[in-house]
Amino acid sequence: MAIAPWLTPELIRHLELLELSVRWVRAGNRTGGRFPVNRRGTSIEFADYSPYVAGDDIRAIDWNLYARLDRLYVRTYKEEIALSVELIVDATPSMDFPNNEKFERAKRLAVCLGYVALADKHHARLSWIKPGRQSASVWWTQRNDLPRMLQASAVGKVGGQTALAEWMRRSALTLRMRGGQAIVITDGMCRRADFFQAMHVLLVRHVEVKVIQVLSSQELHPSKAFQSGSVVDAETGLETQLAYSPAELERAMADHNETLARFCKKHGINFVQHRLDEPMEQFLTQVLPAKGILV
C-alpha cells in the first residue's frame, strides 16, 4: 500500500484503535450497514407512519388511515444503513496564513479521520470549501481506499474567497448531504454570522456536526505578530489600519474563537481547537477522544 511519509505504520496502528463517536444516524447514502433507520419507501419490515410531505411517493400513502383520520400519512420501513462521513476542509485563503502549514495539517487530519471511518466500516468522502463548482471525491468504503484518499488530499489547493454559509447551502443540495456525520476542518476565520448559518444548514438536514478549528500561534496570539501599522485580510484582500492595541487585538481574537465554541456547544456540535505546535498524533489519540469526537 502506497502511503505518505508522514502516515507511518505506527500512526496507522493507532488510528485502527479509534472509532468515531456516533450520537445518532438519521439517514444515509448506502444500505448494508449497522445503523437502523426508518425510511420512506418499501422494504421488508414495516416501522411506522410519517406525515405526508410534498415529494413523497403517493404509493406509500395509507389510504385506510386517511379514511379514518382525514390526514395523509405514508408508511415507513426499517432499514440498516452505513454511516456517511463528510470530510469538509476549508480551502479559503486564510488557510494559507501564515504559510501553507495550516492547510497541510487540515488535509492530514481529514485523511486520518477518514481512515478511522473506513476502519470502522463507515463510508467517507472529501470536499473543499472554495469557490467554483461544488464537487467532492467519490465515496470511499474500505481500508484499501487509503491511497486514493491520500491522492485526493494531496491535490487539494487553497482557492479564492467564498462565503461559508453560501458554500454550505449549495453543497448540501448538490452533494445531497443528509443524515450521517460532517467533520468540518477550518480556521474559523470568517464572519461569525456566516459560521452560524453554515452550521445551521447541516443541522436542519439532520447531520451530526463536528468542528475542528486549526490555528497557528500567530492567530492564537496576534498581538505578537501585529504591533502596529496595517494588515491585509487574507480572505478579502482589503487593507486595514490597525485600530487596536496589542492587548485589545488579543482579546478580540479570543472573543471570536470563544463565540464559535459557545455556539457549537449550545447546538450540540462537538468543537475542538487544534494548535499547529501541538503534535498531531497526540491530538488524534488523546485530545479528540477526550472531547468526544473519537472514542
- Bond from prior residue into 98 cis (ω within 30 degrees of 0): yes
Tell me the CA distances in angstroms from 34 to 23, 24, 122, 204, one per residue in order. Answer: 14, 12, 9, 23
Indicate whether 111 and 162 sit together in one domain. yes
3-state secondary structure 129-156: ECCCCCCECCCECCHHHHHHHHHHHHCC
The span from the CA of 271 to the CA of 291, in Å, is: 8
Cell of 21: 463517536
The pLDDT tens digits of the residues spanning 175-226 come to 999 888 999 999 999 999 999 999 999 999 989 999 999 999 888 887 666 5
Average pLDDT in the chain: 86
Half-sphere exposure of 269 (CA within 13 A, CB side): 29
CATH number reported for the structural domain that contains residue 244 in this entry: 3.40.50.410
Indicate whether 64 and 161 sit together in one domain. no
Residues of the domain holding 165: 9-27+83-290
Residue 130: what pLDDT? Answer: 95
Per-residue pLDDT at 92 exceeds 80: yes
| Local structure of 30: helix, strand or coil | coil
Per-residue pLDDT at 161 exceeds 80: yes
Tell me the CA distances in angstroms from 128 to 68, 184, 225, one per residue in order. Answer: 50, 10, 28
The pLDDT tens digits of the residues spanning 238-258 come to 555 556 677 888 898 999 999
Residue 79 Cα to chain centre, angstroms: 25
Any domain includes 271: yes
Indicate whether 131 and 69 sit together in one domain. no
Residue 238: what pLDDT? Answer: 59
Give the pairing of strands 181-186 and 84-90: parallel
Percent of residues, the chain, with pLDDT higher than 90: 62
Residue 261: what pLDDT? Answer: 98
The span from the CA of 122 to the CA of 168, in Å, is: 22
Among all chains, which residue has been given the C-alpha cell 450540540? 268
Indicate the number of domains in the chain: 2
Per-residue pLDDT at 76 exceeds 80: no
Residue 134 pLDDT grade (very low, low, confident, very high; cuts 50, 70, 90): confident
| Angle at 165 (CA atoms; ends 164, 168), nearest 5 degrees | 85
Indicate whether 153 and 195 sit together in one domain. yes
The span from the CA of 182 to the CA of 28, in Å, is: 12
Residue 29: what pLDDT? Answer: 55
Which residue would you say has higher pLDDT here, 254 or 227? 254
Residue 250: what pLDDT? Answer: 85
Q: Which amino acid is at 222?
A: P
CB neighbours of residue 43 within 10 Å: 16
The span from the CA of 291 to the CA of 87, in Å, is: 18
Indicate whether 61 and 139 sit together in one domain. no
Percent of residues, the chain, with pLDDT higher than 70: 81
